[in-house]
Amino acid sequence: MMKVFWNILALEDIIATNKYVGNIDEPYKQLESFNESRAGVVEMVKLAEKETDDLEDVKNEKEAYMLKELSLLKWQEKATQLAHEDTDKKEVELRPDISSLEENLKGEREKIQESKKTLKELCSQKLYEKTRGLHDMAKSQENSICILIYL
């Protein structure tokens, strides 16, 4: 800017009039104003770039974290799939055993029912025999009492 000012002075010396100084002075003031505005804008741009760079680091950290989390979820999914496949294989292997065990259980239940039935029959038969024995004893005592009474 000083260079422009000195050029104006030199121009004044050359043409020996200062009638152009006012016309040159006005654009010079505008130039200074524009330069000040430009300096403010440049400063704001630098600040914005610095903030962008700071945010870039945070963004990169977040992306790295999200990628790790995605990788973890994929590994967990794979582990779950393998466990599911393993469980399906074991189920297929155990299915015949389950069928045979169910048949055995059915047979055992039938045996239990038969045993209960037999036990009921035996109990009722023993009860009958006991009551018959008691009945017979009571009858014989009645007969003996009757004989004694007749005598």
Q: Give the amino acid at 104.
A: N
- How does pLDDT run across 54-80, given as a tens digit for each residue? 889 889 999 999 999 999 999 999 999
Give me the pLDDT at residue 30, please: 85
- How does pLDDT run across 22-55, given as a tens digit for each residue? 666 777 788 888 889 999 999 999 999 999 988 8
Phi, psi torsion values for 19, nearest 5 degrees: -75, -20
- Tokens representing 62? 């977040």
* Residue corresponding to tokens 């037999």: 118
Those residues whose C-beta lies under 8 Å from the C-beta of residue 4, and which sit 6 or more positions away, are 28, 31
Give me the pLDDT at residue 41, please: 93
- How does pLDDT run across 97-127, given as a tens digit for each residue? 888 889 999 999 998 888 888 877 777 776 6
pTM for this model (two decimals): 0.41
